[in-house]
Amino acid sequence: MTRRLHLNAFLMNTGHHEASWRLPESDPYAHVELGHYVRLARTAERGTFDSLFLADGPQLWGSVAQRPAGALEPLTLLTALATATEHIGLIATASTSYNSPYNLARKFASLDIISGGRAGWNIVTTAGAEAARNFGLDAEPAHAERYARAGEFLDVALKLWDSWEDDAILGDKETGVWGDDTKIHPPRHRGTYFSVEGALNVPRSPQGYPLLVQAGSSEDGKNFAARYAEAVFTAQQTLADAQAFYADLKSRTAAAGRDPEHIKVLPGIVPVVGSTEAEARANEQVLEDHIVHRHGVANLERLLQLPEGTLELDAELPSELPPESAIEGARSRYTLIVELARRERLTVRRLIGRLGGGRGHLTFAGTPEQVADAIGTWFAQGAADGFNIMPAVLPSGLETFVDQVVPILRRRGLLRTEYGPRQTLRERYGLPRPANQYAPRENALV
């Protein structure tokens, strides 16, 4: 069977470019309008994407002056989108630091049932003191502790999702026996972070449990992915870096005793398409021209943990910067940004322009053929199993990708031309349905 590319649509209000909301076409209220997201989901489905995805953090970031702030809660929004679509996978971000396993496991099982097996969970540990302070803490838990909790969270969630065997429901009206108590398995978990006694109050869902997705790039993050993740989102700026990340993650997955084919690596790409290369660059420039630089400088200072007023717009970054180890939170993002600035000797203004498009993800401006070529190269050369498509402007950027790039990928045999018969999200990514840890071996593959 031909190896096929996997595509995920990363949806974010008016687009991934921070200035996208200022374009004439954009609706500044889009982030709280269901209709906007329904249109995006149906467009991605028209492009036979595997899945769509919503990022999230349980806090309001910085100033609302800068750009559309806040978002509908992802599991809630994706449930609404489940009823507006038929095939596409629905991946919600949710935090292991600020949820309890019982509630979260149940919500994902419910979404998986309602969507007919299309739920996915982007597992995050949630960096930052702002989030911590919304949940009774004074400061964020240390990086290692967040990952320790995440590991235990997953173990508990997996027990909960397996707490009903697939055939626990009998529905025997004649004898009045609805379910088989011997096929219910309370976790009786007592651990460091969680004690969870009872079985989930939702039967096992079509996929067994949601597709497990992850995006951390730290050592802890990669080891966590190797152990649990079935798909990984990553920010990579160069083919060589992407190849190294890909090889590293596959080998860690094998070392964790799993089939490396069972983890799909999807780098992010911000495609800016034009009918000519010049038009693509002009489209990119229009976006850059809408950036409010005082916001960009403030954000960059915050990200690099520098005092306010340190950065000058038309100078390069200071030569002295804090080491990565001093950064709490998005460490790999920090390093990627500093390396990008140093490698290309970017001024702060140019760096803000580059980040405005992709926040560290690869921005690629070109013709539809050039975008398809870039995707095809990374896919063929051991850098990606697919891509996390992050349009700079929404909905137009996704529509352009689906109308102009997708047909080329299909002609080249890289992408499905239509969805197969009723498949779960996990089947679409070429992954097996997980066995139930409590079921007898002969039932395990049911």
Contacting a copy of itself within 288-317 (CB under 8 A) = 290, 292, 295
User: Pairing mode, if any, of strands 362-366 and 264-273?
Assistant: parallel
Q: How far apart are CA 430 and CA 385, in angstroms?
A: 11
Alpha-helical segments (H) within 51-128: 74-84, 101-114
Q: How far apart are CA 52 and CA 72, in angstroms?
A: 15
The minimum distance between CB 401 and a copy of itself, in angstroms, equals 24
- Does 66 engage in binding with a copy of itself (CB under 8 A)? yes
Residue 18 CB-half CA count within 13 A: 23
Size of the site for a copy of itself (CB under 8 A): 77
What character string, x for contact with a copy of itself (CB under 8 A) and - otherwise, covers 75-94?
xxx-xx-xxx----------
Q: How far apart are CA 77 and CA 426, in angstroms?
A: 21
Q: Which of 181, 314, 320, 418 binds a copy of itself (CB under 8 A)?
A: 181
**Cis before 395 (ω within 30):** yes
Q: Which of 3, 63, 275, 417 binds a copy of itself (CB under 8 A)?
A: 63
Q: Which of 47, 58, 221, 397 binds a copy of itself (CB under 8 A)?
A: 58
- Does 194 engage in binding with a copy of itself (CB under 8 A)? yes
Contact, 116 vs 144, CB < 8 A?
no
| Joined tokens for residue 147 | 């990952």
Q: Which of 42, 46, 73, 444 binds a copy of itself (CB under 8 A)?
A: 73
The minimum distance between CB 191 and a copy of itself, in angstroms, equals 10
The minimum distance between CB 273 and a copy of itself, in angstroms, equals 23
- Residue 57 or 430: the one with the smaller Cβ distance to a copy of itself is 57
- Residue 19 or 297: the one with the smaller Cβ distance to a copy of itself is 19
CA distances from 12 to 202, 203, 251 (A): 31, 32, 32
- Residue 107 or 222: the one with the smaller Cβ distance to a copy of itself is 107
- Tell how far CA 249 is from the center of its chain: 16
- Does 24 engage in binding with a copy of itself (CB under 8 A)? yes
Q: How far apart are CA 237 and CA 388, in angstroms?
A: 13
Interacting stretch for a copy of itself, rule CB under 8 A, among 177-185, 280-288, 363-371, 386-394?
177-185
Interacting stretch for a copy of itself, rule CB under 8 A, among 20-28, 243-251, 309-317, 382-390?
20-28
